[in-house]
Amino acid sequence: MFTTKNILYSALTIAFSACGYSASAQDYRLPAAHQAEHSDLIAAQHNVSDQIKVQDTELFLDNLFTEEEEPELDIYTEGWDSQNVNCYRNAVVPQTKEINVSKFAMPCPGYMTSPYGYRRRFRRMHKGVDLKVQIGDTIRAAFDGKVRLTKFERRGYGYYVVIRHTNELETVYGHLSKFLVEPDQYVKAGDPIALGGNTGRSTGPHLHFETRFMGYAINPSAIFDFENQTTHTDTYTFDKRTYENARDYSPRSTKSSASLASSGKTPTTAASTYTIRRGDSLSKIAVRHGTTVKQLCKLNGLTTSSKLSVGKKLKLR
Ligand SMILES: [Zn+2]
């Protein structure tokens, strides 16, 4: 009796014969190198159960979050109107500068979808943070100041606003859908300046937010605590030397325990554990908490290539 399987098998045999492929698998002679490649592939296979851990899925999503965005051109150095944007080109940037950030407003209430830092995939810096917004959400001025530019840059920022603040910082707001201010207009911290959008090189509605000091892109997360919708301290200390030394460093680390102690705040280095967040790497955590990657690995039984799981606690000391 013919079963469906038999019929299929016969059909396949006929098809193979018709094409002249009647030989069985062992008749094929594969080059030794090819065989070696197969062995390597088999050796490199991971246990299937290892691949479906929740943490791994989270980590995968985190990496996706960090890298799915297209890289923005740097309007200060690369945009077609960079002459206009970077008016600090020949200015002497001080080694350090205390910046008063006590009177502030969050640019939008959205959570961070992509942190500041080096993006390996695009081999370039992401000079701001990306914050979740819906198209049409109100975007607010982070500090008091004067609108310097409202422009369009199709290869990167889309519709963007640059505000120069009285504390000498500049903030940049990108991928907007509508301007609510005009150049030279004075704004107070918290004033609506634009509506959120998805213009320019953007894969979904978000706000690209930068904080600059004389053209230097500072990590906005060093000033703002986006998770808790506040600032870390009342004064942010810009340090040019530290900025220049590390592409992916978090300026929050430049605050020494001493200066934090004198400001009356608890130094971040005092914490003994740390909960891993999106966008973290061992080196970032180490720098931020005044320790080393080596020490973190030793304390937590990790290697430098260990994957970090968001939400997991790390011993710091
Ligand atoms: Zn961005």
- Tens of pLDDT, residues 132-169: 999 999 999 999 999 999 999 888 899 999 999 999 99
Q: How far is the CA of 168 from the centre of ligand 1 (A)?
A: 22
Q: How far is the CA of 259 from the centre of ligand 1 (A)?
A: 31
Residue scoring higher pLDDT (41 or 256): 41
pLDDT score for 169:
95
Q: How far is the CA of 303 from the centre of ligand 1 (A)?
A: 30
Q: How far is the CA of 243 from the centre of ligand 1 (A)?
A: 19
Q: DSSP secondary-structure letter at 205?
A: S
Residue 166 · residue 188 · CB < 8 Å? no
Q: Tens digit of pLDDT for each residue in 250-301? A: 434 433 333 333 333 333 334 677 888 777 888 877 766 667 788 888 888 8
Q: How far is the CA of 206 from the centre of ligand 1 (A)?
A: 8
What is the residue extent of each domain of the chain?
A: 67-249
Q: How far is the CA of 9 from the centre of ligand 1 (A)?
A: 55
Q: How far is the CA of 209 from the centre of ligand 1 (A)?
A: 7
Of 206, 224, 185, 199, the residue nearest 137 (C-alpha):
206
Distance CA 215, CA 213 (A): 5
Length of the chain measured in residues? 317
Q: May I ask the CATH class of domain 67-249?
A: mainly beta
pLDDT score for 146:
95
